[in-house]
Amino acid sequence: MIDATTDESLLMARLQTLRWKAGLRCPRCGHRDCTLHARGKEGRRKLRCSGCGRTFNDLTGTPLARTHLPLTLWAKAARLMASGHQTCSSLSVKLDVKLATAWRVRKILTEALKDADLRRTLVTEDMP
Ligand SMILES: [Zn+2]
């Protein structure tokens, strides 16, 4: 049985491990002293930098920042795109999202998949 929440947390954990493999660092000023500011659902967290005082999350500074779609949807779309060319309408049907969303997903993922860590997070064999 596939538990969507668990998969979301798993993807987030994988992203955190890959993105911060050299240690957590503020994406804006590079300061290393960052503390947990708030914790959302499914492993999403908000961090605060003690250097510049700004908050960020694990997606800040990546093409997936400020998107509100679950990582499981990004992963599904990324695997479809990795398996061959996808038109917006075929993505829209396969992901069960509106055509405009599929267009945005494809545009953002084209950028996101150039990042090795995001690619390794999203395009994996052991995910649904
Ligand atoms: Zn900072």
Determine the distance separating the centroid of ligand 1 and the alpha carbon of 55, expressed in angstroms.
8
Structural contact between residues 57 and 45, judged by C-beta atoms closer than 8 angstroms: yes
Residue 57 Cα to ligand 1 midpoint, Å, equals 12
Assigned domain for 100 exists? yes
Q: Indicate whether 35 and 80 sit together in one domain.
A: no
93 falls within a domain: yes
Whether the CB-CB separation of 74 and 105 falls below 8 Å is answered with yes
Range of the domain at 84: 71-122
The Cβ-side half-sphere exposure at 47, using a 13 Å CA radius, reads 23
Question: Can you give the pLDDT of all 128 residues of the chain as single tens digits?
Answer: 455 568 899 999 999 999 999 999 999 999 999 999 999 877 789 999 999 999 999 999 999 998 889 999 999 999 999 888 899 999 999 999 999 999 999 999 999 999 999 999 999 765 54
Question: Is 128 part of a structural domain of the chain?
Answer: no
Distance 34 CA to ligand 1 centre (A): 8
Kind plus residue range of the DSSP H or E element containing 47: strand 45-49
Work out how many domains the chain is built from and give that number: 2
Domain assignment present for residue 63? The answer is no
How many Å apart are CA 128 and CA 80, to the nearest integer?
12
Residue 60, sorted as left (phi over 0), alpha (psi -120 to 50) or beta, turns out to be beta
